[in-house]
Amino acid sequence: MSVGPVIEITGDGSHTLFLPELEEHYHSVNGAIQESKHVFIEAGLRHLKRDVVHIFEVGFGTGLNAFLSLIESDASREIHYTTIEAYPLPLSIIKQLNYADKYSQEQQDLFYKLHEVEWGTEQWITPGFYLTKIQTDLNQLDFSVLKSFDIIYFDAFAPDKQAEMWSQQIFDQMYNITNEQGMLVTYCAKGVVRRMMQQSGYKTERLPGPPGKREMLRATKL
């Protein structure tokens, strides 16, 4: 019998999920919010100076990256966020997560709205944030139905747990859907992953990682 995800507290007080069958966490145990802000928001979204930003995420999961991106959007920065997820989490788990606790009631409601809106078509969340959730396996995704993107949040489980998510073919497909001057960011800094990104055509940078992790990667399409 498979055991579902278990909620745990990370180093910054925010929750993560632990998947016993994979022996893997959804986020850094040193701090889930801290990691998401460092890798995806600071090194990705805030690094790109554009008024309209198209984001593609691999692994919607708890919706933490989507929520923190939504917080960054406003009247002068419109975000179109497309995310894929093979195994959507039940609302009963989402409702126990503390990601929105320190935010206003309106923003807490928006965290749930991200999870409650329909899958498969673009949904209006706020005047500055549009969400498209696609339920699919990355390895079966029909890339021809996707637009192209300014930022890719590559947030799959680690390569030693899910090698099939970190192949040359996947990074070639990621490169093809990245706009010029666009980028892919990931918490993973492994040399073999960096070399696959370079082989796809990206210029890669090793950046300081979030607390507990020496480095992360940002790959730019020049």
Ligand X SMILES: C[S@@+](CC[C@H](N)C(=O)[O-])C[C@H]1O[C@@H](n2cnc3c(N)ncnc32)[C@H](O)[C@@H]1O
> Which stretches of the chain bind ligand X, using CB under 6 A?
26, 59-62, 64-65, 84-87, 137-139, 155-157, 162
Contact predicate 5/88, CB 8 Å: no
> Whose CA is closest to 142, among 189, 187, 215, 84?
84
Smallest distance, Å, CB 98 to ligand X?
13
CB 119 within 8 A of CB 135: yes
Nearer to ligand X, 17 or 196 (CB): 17
The smaller minimum CB distance to ligand X, of residues 96 and 198, is found at: 96
Cα separation, 41 vs 109, in Å, equals: 21
Shortest CB 88 distance to ligand X, Å: 8
Please, what is the minimum distance in Å from the beta carbon of residue 76 to ligand X? 26
CB 212, min distance to ligand X, A? 15
List b or e across 126-157, with b for residues whose CB sees 16 or more CB atoms inside 10 angstroms: bebbbbbbbeeebeebeeeebeebbbbbbbbb
Specify the residue, 7 or 127, whose C-beta has the smaller distance to ligand X: 7
Name 100's Cβ contacts closer than 8 Å, sequence gap at least 6.
Answer: 67, 107, 108, 110, 111
CB of 148 to ligand X, least distance (A): 19
CB 99 within 8 A of CB 163: no
Q: Which residue is nearest to ligand X (CB)?
A: 61
Name which of 107 and 162 has its Cβ closer to ligand X: 162
User: Which residue, 120 or 127, has its beta carbon nearer to ligand X?
Assistant: 120
Return the closest-CA partner of residue 154 out of 46, 61, 59, 82. 59
